[in-house]
Chain A
Amino acid sequence: MSSWDRFADTFLNAAVMAKYLPNIIDGFFLTVGLAALVVVSGIAAGLVLAVVRSLGVRPLNWLIIFIVDLFRALPPLVVIVLLYFGLPSAGFTPTAFGTTWASLSLVLMAFAEEIFWAGITAVPRGQWEAARSTGLTFWQTLSSVVLPQAIRLTIPPLTNRTIAITKGTALGSVIGLSEILSQASSAVSFSFNPSPLTLGAAAYLILFLPVVVLGRWIETRFAWQR
């Protein structure tokens, strides 16, 4: 057996791959669903926090900063493990899916809040003043004048951060969530062959490569022009 054959047999074993393909596909769709949920809830929650922060209520802002710094500092894996193994002793047993979703959403929320907040503060004071001087309320100014500009500024960094955090869906494998990585590694232990991992990597590429390309397109599309 040549070394290429040995390599192909190890990583590209067609029989093993065919056998476990359905499992990987299951994991793929679970990962897609989870990632989509995380993106929606994480970004929405981050936007809400940033908007609340713009109200300028001191104690509320301290609380927001504390929460945001906490989830930016903690490794996502730690959040997942903490919630999954900690919550049961508080009388609540979360599912692996729920835990991974909540953990990654919290982390994305924290980063998204910081990015939105930076965007809001980057909009010049004069924009607020001009809008308020024509009689627009705080909320009208925020929604019609400030947020459209702020969000445009935030799209490139937010896209990058979102991609980075949604890839964290793979961390769900640690608590037995049957997403791509977890499906692939159990296939490896059943087949005694690492080929399913190749399949898993391919599944991740199929999922995230278009997102990365889309992110690049969004970045150029929304490059700020003045």
Chain B
Amino acid sequence: MTRPIVEARALHKHFGALHVLKGIDLTVAERELVFVIGPSGSGKSTLLRCLNRLEEPSSGSIIVDGIDLLDRHTDINRARQRIGMVFQSFNLYPHMTALGNVTLALRKVAGKRRPEADAIGGAALARVGLADRAGHYPNQLSGGQQQRVAIARAIALEPRVMLFDEPTSALDPELVGGVLAVMRELRESGMTMVVVSHEMGFARAAADRVLFMDEGIIVEQGPPAQIFGEPREERTRAFIGQIQRH
């Protein structure tokens, strides 16, 4: 087995008196797609946000692509270029075009000159099927298109791992498919991915491993067929039963 891309050990996170992550161990192998499910408040988004230190873990260790994220000497801004993140609410920069959104970090962080950044950004937009929308501002794009631009913004930096925080939760149902198709394409191209989502169909079809979290711990994990088909833990069963009724 190759070196894991993500290695989190004994992660704890406290928000004041609230103990949100209670000792999470998570290893993600290269090219693996790990899917995280769990009730709201289970800590799954917090876990994801710890993996690029948007959230500062209270204790534990996180190594991404060989870089110790919690080491004081680590340049977190450099490390973050290798960790793409996609948010529930897209978070595109409203004052910039789609291409401007995608190329900002290429120019400011990766130090590319504008023609080169534009070429890379254009290719990233083409990859998410939006080459013809490069000059559009976010408010001129549908939610699904905005999320695809956000994915292009992350992949343009050629990350080693992509984190998805409920990427389709804010979308109208008819727009979900386009975003999932892009994620599927990414997965098939070999991108390592950690996805927090409620899209169980996508999980079944594309995930290598499904993680069920509840109350700050990983209750159970395994291949999608096992977690959705024959969960071992009572809490997992209850949760799966609940979402499948809907």
Which A residues lie at the B interface, using CB under 8 A?
Answer: 124, 126-127, 129-137, 140, 144-145, 148-149, 152, 225-226
Contacts and interface: CB of A to CB of B under 8 A. Distances in A.
A137 B77 contact: yes
B153 interface: yes
A136 B52 CA distance: 13
A124 B94 CA distance: 11
Contacts of B154: 133-134
Contacts of A225: 139
A192 to B, nearest CB: 59
B121 to A, nearest CB: 12
A148 B95 contact: yes
B91 A132 contact: no
Contacts of A126: 87, 89, 91
B20 interface: no
B109 A135 contact: yes
A226 B93 CA distance: 11
Nearest to B156: A134
B interface, size bucket:
20 to 34
B91 A129 contact: yes
A135 B108 CA distance: 9
A226 B94 contact: yes
Given A126-B87, A225-B139, A136 B93 contact: no
Interface string B66-101: 000000000001111101110101011111000000
A129 B105 CA distance: 13
B6 interface: no
A225 B140 CA distance: 11
A140 B81 CA distance: 14
Given A124-B89, A130-B92, 15 more contacts: A126-B91, A129-B54, A129-B85, A130-B85, A130-B87, A131-B93, A132-B77, A133-B80, A134-B157, A135-B78, A136-B104, A145-B104, A149-B94, A225-B139, A226-B94
Interface in B35-65: 52, 54
Nearest to A140: B108
B109 A130 contact: no
A133 B85 contact: yes
B95 A136 contact: no
Contacts of A226: 94, 139
B6 to A, nearest CB: 15
A129 B87 contact: yes
B105 A134 contact: yes
Contact of B108 (A127, A129, A130, A136): A136
Contacts of A132: 54, 77, 80
Given A135-B109, A135-B157, A136-B109, A130 B91 contact: yes
B213 to A, nearest CB: 21
